[in-house]
């Protein structure tokens, strides 16, 4: 008889234990990210302080022309992401293909330093304040954007890994990685039809959803290509495949640590990846700093400017309700 309450107690305690275990893993991942960043930073400072700056400085000065190219690729990356975002909201019957939609999307860049993807809440909040859609509908759209983005980057990284072993199977692997979650999403959507979490009819299992994922994947490819532009001529063994894999991969892993914007984690992981590929630490530090500056930090002030413009455009909700009632 005593085994029954013991079993019940153990079952009751298991969620708490699982949460504690997950919390410990979460904390450990943060410590590991900080350790990598700290170790790489200390080593870089040591090498920069004791090494010969002449060759390094001359090398990067001679490659100053790549900065405009890097900025252009970063802009293309953001445009592709914005197009996919607007398309998802459009399918939720939210008007986004206009000036307000562009500003709302860019406003989300101001939230890049926020932890745990909280920055994503800026965009649905902006659309609600502009009177474009109810809050629940905007939150569902943003959640779907996040899900499709996750599918796109996982499909890309999985396809790159398959390419290393079975190149001819890469297209089928990528299509499978996209089709399976689309099918499962369709099944779940049908189950939620009569709940508040329902999505637009036939949302997942459509060509529109497939092309949205492909657009997002192209954006991640541009992100990796930006890294390749920086490291292409560096000493070491970095290849196009390495850049396409480590560029998006380190960004995703950095954010997964829960650190604000993956700051510290992404730099540490990216620096470690470059070091593994035999890139000298002197060049490595400059490459990582330039890459993050243009693909991450540059967009944050742009996001704040977009927020400021949106505030001036925000309609007075009370006045609009009074006019409609009159």
Rounded CA gap, 74 and 109, in Å? 13
Does some domain include residue 153?
yes
**Nearest partner of 36 among 225, 236, 230, 250, judged by Cα:** 250
Question: Could you give the percent of the chain with pLDDT greater than 70?
Answer: 77
Give the containing element (helix H, strand E) for 320: helix 317-325
What pTM did the predictor assign? 0.80
The more confident residue out of 270 and 315 is 270
Does some domain include residue 29?
no
Q: What is the pLDDT of residues 125-150, one digit of tens each?
A: 999 999 999 999 999 999 999 999 99
> What domain range includes position 302?
73-315
**Rounded average pLDDT over 44-66:** 63
Does some domain include residue 93?
yes
Two tokens, residue 87? 């398309």
Least confident window among 25-29, 72-76, 274-278, 290-294? 25-29
pLDDT of residue 323: 39
pLDDT of residue 138: 94
Q: What is the pLDDT of residues 167-218, one digit of tens each?
A: 999 999 999 999 999 999 888 877 877 777 677 767 888 999 999 999 999 9
Does some domain include residue 236?
yes
The pLDDT of residue 54 is above 90: no
pLDDT of residue 178: 96
Q: Count Cα atoms within 13 angstroms, Cβ side, for 64.
A: 4
* 3-state SS assignment for residue 95: coil
Domain count, the chain: 1
Q: What is the pLDDT of residues 231-249, one digit of tens each?
A: 988 888 999 999 999 999 9
DSSP, residue by residue, 185-227: HHHHHHHTTTSTT--STT-SSSHHHHHHHHHHHHHHHHHHHHH
Does some domain include residue 265?
yes
Mean pLDDT of the chain: 82
Does some domain include residue 19?
no
The pLDDT of residue 317 is above 60: no
Rounded CA gap, 49 and 179, in Å? 52
The more confident residue out of 102 and 258 is 102
Does some domain include residue 129?
yes
Does some domain include residue 55?
no
């Amino acid at each position: 008889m005593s085994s029954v309450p013991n079993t019940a107690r153990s079952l009751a305690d298991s969620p708490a234990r699982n949460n504690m275990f997950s919390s410990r893993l979460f904390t450990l991942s943060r410590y590991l990210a900080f350790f990598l960043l700290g170790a790489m930073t200390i080593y870089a400072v040591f090498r920069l302080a004791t090494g010969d700056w002449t060759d390094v400085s001359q090398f990067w000065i001679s490659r100053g022309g790549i900065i405009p190219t890097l900025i252009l690729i970063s802009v293309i990356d953001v445009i592709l992401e914005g197009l996919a975002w607007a398309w998802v909201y459009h399918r939720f019957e939210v008007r986004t293909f206009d000036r307000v939609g562009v500003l709302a999307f860019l406003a989300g860049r101001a939230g890049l330093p926020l932890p745990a993807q909280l920055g994503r809440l800026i965009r649905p909040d902006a659309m609600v304040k502009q009177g474009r859609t109810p809050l629940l509908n905007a939150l569902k759209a943003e959640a779907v954007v996040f899900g499709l983005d996750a599918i796109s980057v996982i499909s890309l990284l999985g396809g790159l890994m398959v390419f290393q072993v079975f190149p001819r199977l890469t297209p089928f692997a990528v299509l499978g990685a996209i089709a399976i979650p689309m099918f499962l999403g369709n099944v779940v959507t049908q189950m939620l039809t009569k709940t508040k979490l329902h999505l637009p009819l036939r949302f997942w299992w459509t060509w529109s959803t497939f092309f949205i994922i492909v657009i997002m994947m192209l954006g991640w490819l541009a992100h990796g290509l930006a890294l390749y532009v920086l490291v292409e001529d560096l000493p070491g063994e970095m290849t196009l495949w390495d850049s396409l894999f480590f560029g998006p991969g380190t960004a995703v892993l950095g954010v997964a640590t829960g650190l604000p914007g993956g700051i510290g984690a992404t730099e540490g992981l990216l620096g470690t990846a470059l070091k593994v590929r035999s890139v000298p630490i002197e060049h490595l530090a400059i490459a990582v700093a330039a890459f993050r500056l243009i693909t991450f930090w540059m967009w944050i002030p742009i996001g704040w400017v977009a927020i400021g413009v949106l505030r001036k455009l925000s309609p007075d909700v009370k006045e609009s309700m009074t006019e409609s009632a009159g």
